[in-house]
Structure formats: C-alpha cells, structure tokens
Amino acid sequence: MPSIIEKDALIIGGGIAGLWMLNRLRTQGYDVLLLEKNKLGSGQTIASQGMIHGGIKYALSGNLNTASEAIADMPEQWENCLAGTGDIDLSDTNILSKHYYMWPQNSLRSRFNAFLGSKALRGKVTKVGENNYPDFFQTHIKGPLYELKDIVLDVPSLLNSLSKKHQSNIKLFNCAKEWNIEKNAEGEFKSLTLKQDDETFIVRAKQIIISSGEGSKDFLKKLIPDEKLPNEMQMQLRPLQMTIVKHKHSDPIHVHCVADQLTATPEVTITSHKCKDGDTAWYLGGELAESGANRTEEEQIKVAKNKIGELFPWCDLSNARWHSFFINRAEALTKNGKRPETASIHQYLNISLCWPSKLTLAPDLGQQIINIFQGKNIPPSNYTNSDLDNLKFPGIATPPWDSMP
C-alpha cells in the first residue's frame, strides 16, 4: 500500500529560493515538503559569491534604475535576519565581510570617481581614507577606494541555517527518475508519486512550487503541456566561467575592480573564502566570468592570471593553484536576454515557478510566495502525516574551492 502524504505545498529544489520559501511558509504554519535531487544548494547557490548587494553595482551604468531600486531594501532585510530579528533567523550564518569595496583602478580618469562621489549615491558609498585601507591594499594602491554597504556571506553556513530546523521537511529525491504526476481535469497539480526502494509515497499538495533552477524546465514539461506553457514561464540561461585562485595569503579581499567605463559589470569581482585545508581561495566573477563563457578553461586561466597580475603586482602567486569551471545562471526569460531586474513568481493554476534572479532577492521572493498563499486564501492545515522517514536529508553542497581537482 502506498503511503499518502498530504501537504499544503510541495517545493521542488533546495537552492536559496526553495529553502527561503520553505522557511517563510513554515513560519506561517503551512505544512511543506521540499524535495531536492542532490545536495542543498548544488546548483547556482553554492557557486554564488555570497554577495548581498544594495544595487550600487547596477547603478554603475549611470543611473539608479529599476534593478538598483528593487534591490535597495534587501541588505536591511538580510541584516535583520542575520541579527535574528527578521523574517528568518540567520543569526548563525557566517558573515565573511561586512563591507564590499570598489576600486576604480584608473583614478586619473575621473568620470567614474565623480559618479561614485555624486549626490545620488551619498550615504550608500563612502570613500575610504588611505589609513583605513584593508590590509591587502595598504601602501600598495594609490586609490581612491570606495566602501559599499554590501555584505558577503559564507553560503554553506547560510544553507545550514536555512535547513537545520526543517530537516524532516527536506528530503533527498530525484524527481526526474522514479516519479509520476497526477493532475485533475482542469490541469491542476494533484499529486506526485515517488518510489524509493520498495516503498511508494503519494504526495498530495494544494500548491506545487518549482524552484529547481536550470532543472525547472524539465520538471515544468511534466506539469504543463508545451502548447499551454505561458511565455512568461520560459527560462533563459546566462553562461559564466568562474575562476578560483587558491593560495596561502591570508588577508581577505572583497572587491569590485572596475575599469574606466560605467557599466553594471565590474571587470573582476573578487570574494575570499577559507578552504577546508586552511588555504585561501579568491573567487573571480564579473566581466572576467561573463566573457570567460566563450573561452576554453586553459584560455580562461591565462586571461585570469594576466588580469590578477596586472591588478596586484605586489602579490606573489607563483605557488597558487588555478582552476575554472562553467556554470549557467538560470532565470526568467527577458525580452532582450539581459539579467532580470527583480525576483519573480509565475503562476499557472496551482503551479508556481520561482526565480530569485539573485541570492540577494530571496527575501523578496519569500514575501511573494506568502502573498500568493494569502491571496488564494489557502489556510494552513493541521495535517498529521508521516514525514517520509525513509527518505534522507540531502546534506549541504560543497563549495567549488573545496571540491576543485
């Protein structure tokens, strides 16, 4: 006999989106099950740089546009969560840096510096006095150097904070393998049948929430016939090639290195991470990663070595280990293929397709899902289900600098 499990919501995918929504819905009393096919965060989330930004990066294109406005409230919401006073308790998440720096290297070309010092950004960007430069930059750069209010988080510890109180609601299961979906006559999601070893579970849920990143497309295919799939439920992929430099220098750097042009993408965006073996990893994103999508791994490492050598000539990296890998950003389709500016949830009957667009925008996504449940008048149920004890908790993904060859 199959076990029948009744839930208010079934979430597919345990990256930042799925985990944030699980927390918000559980706090409102909803009975929720999250299924993850791999380890938590395995897709984009564990590969992210962990920056919670307030939009200044996007203001670099010259004006404070929709992207920077949508994101402006986010750092405060995260800070409340990190202090244990927000919608979700993240008080045990490690903060890698409370500031992010912006270093326009060509300080003589002042268009950029004038913008960073402009009235529009007052209070959001501070020029750092030379005596207060972070250790890594001390005496080495002429400046100027700017401090942004952005923070950098340790993503594995964030995933741990988001999952540890809900382990019995988070289960390892590959929804693309042994499973079957049942819909009602109107096409609404009714149940998902899972087979594991000799057991069969039928999970019924009022709402199914798809937060499977790049995997969403395959899952959606099983739920909505191609001809009925609304345009706004299409996905776009933006490929990146990220680079890791592993070495023994211990001074951390968290910096956008920006060239002379005002664009939303810094030349190189660097975050620093402590590796399990005690080494430091610099994780390199920004334009280097975007243009790197068109290079081979060898070419990317060559370009990265040249760029880092040019930026930090005083830093000896002769014993460093270099590694790069490809990863896609999976997002809602935009008209021009550019980055979406907001988090979004697309509804089709009782199916929600969720795109945070950025780690930073997870609180916005969390509020949107609560609004949907309240808007549909879905009351929290008092189900007394077995919690799928035979399915395991997936565990947390390993960050790329601890899994590099």
- Contacts with ligand FAD by CB under 6 A lie at 12-18, 35-38, 41-45, 47-51, 174-176, 211-213, 215, 219, 240, 242, 285, 327, 329, 356-360
Residues in contact with 257: Cβ distance below 8 Å, sequence separation at least 6, in sequence order: 103, 105, 266, 267, 268, 269, 270, 286, 311
Q: How far is CA 228 from CA 177, 232, 349, in A?
A: 24, 11, 12
* Smallest distance from ligand FAD to CB 340, Å: 9
Instruction: Output 110 or 234, the one with its CB closest to ligand FAD.
Output: 234
Q: Using alpha carbons only, give the angle 80, 35, 331 rounded to the nearest 5 degrees.
A: 65
Which phi and psi (to 5°) does residue 218 adopt? Answer: -65, -40
Instruction: Output 67 or 327, the one with its CB closest to ligand FAD.
Output: 327
* Smallest distance from ligand FAD to CB 345, Å: 11
* Smallest distance from ligand FAD to CB 41, Å: 6
Q: Do 199 and 210 touch, CB atoms closer than 8 A?
A: no
Residues in contact with 177: Cβ distance below 8 Å, sequence separation at least 6, in sequence order: none
Instruction: Output 326 or 383, the one with its CB closest to ligand FAD.
Output: 326
Tokens 């345990």 belong to 14
* Smallest distance from ligand FAD to CB 254, Å: 10
* Smallest distance from ligand FAD to CB 114, Å: 27
* Smallest distance from ligand FAD to CB 46, Å: 7
Q: Is residue 146 packed enough to be buried (19+ CB in 10 Å), middle (13-18) or exposed (0-12)? A: buried
Please choose, from the candidates 51, 251, 53, 72, the residue with its C-alpha nearest in 3D space to the C-alpha of residue 152. Answer: 51
* Smallest distance from ligand FAD to CB 346, Å: 13
Q: Is residue 188 packed enough to be buried (19+ CB in 10 Å), middle (13-18) or exposed (0-12)? A: middle
Tokens 């006999």 belong to 1
* Smallest distance from ligand FAD to CB 229, Å: 17
Question: Under the phi-then-psi rule, with left for phi > 0, alpha for psi from -120 to 50, and beta for the rest, what region is 123?
Answer: left
Instruction: Output 316 or 387, the one with its CB closest to ligand FAD.
Output: 387
Following CA atoms 104, 107, 113, 117 in sequence, which dihedral angle do they give, to the nearest 10 degrees?
100
Q: Cα 261 to the chain's mean position, in Å?
A: 26
Instruction: Output 130 or 218, the one with its CB closest to ligand FAD.
Output: 218
Residues in contact with 170: Cβ distance below 8 Å, sequence separation at least 6, in sequence order: 14, 19, 22, 34, 36, 40, 163, 393, 394
Instruction: Output 212 or 368, the one with its CB closest to ligand FAD.
Output: 212
Instruction: Output 48 or 300, the one with its CB closest to ligand FAD.
Output: 48
* Smallest distance from ligand FAD to CB 246, Å: 17
* Smallest distance from ligand FAD to CB 84, Å: 21
**Positive or negative: CA dihedral 129, 286, 301, 281:** positive
Angle separating helix axes 74-82 and 362-375, nearest 10 degrees: 90
Instruction: Output 14 or 144, the one with its CB closest to ligand FAD.
Output: 14
Instruction: Output 243 or 280, the one with its CB closest to ligand FAD.
Output: 243
Instruction: Output 68 or 360, the one with its CB closest to ligand FAD.
Output: 360
Which phi and psi (to 5°) does residue 217 adopt? Answer: -60, -50
The first and second tokens of residue 264, run together, are: 């939303």
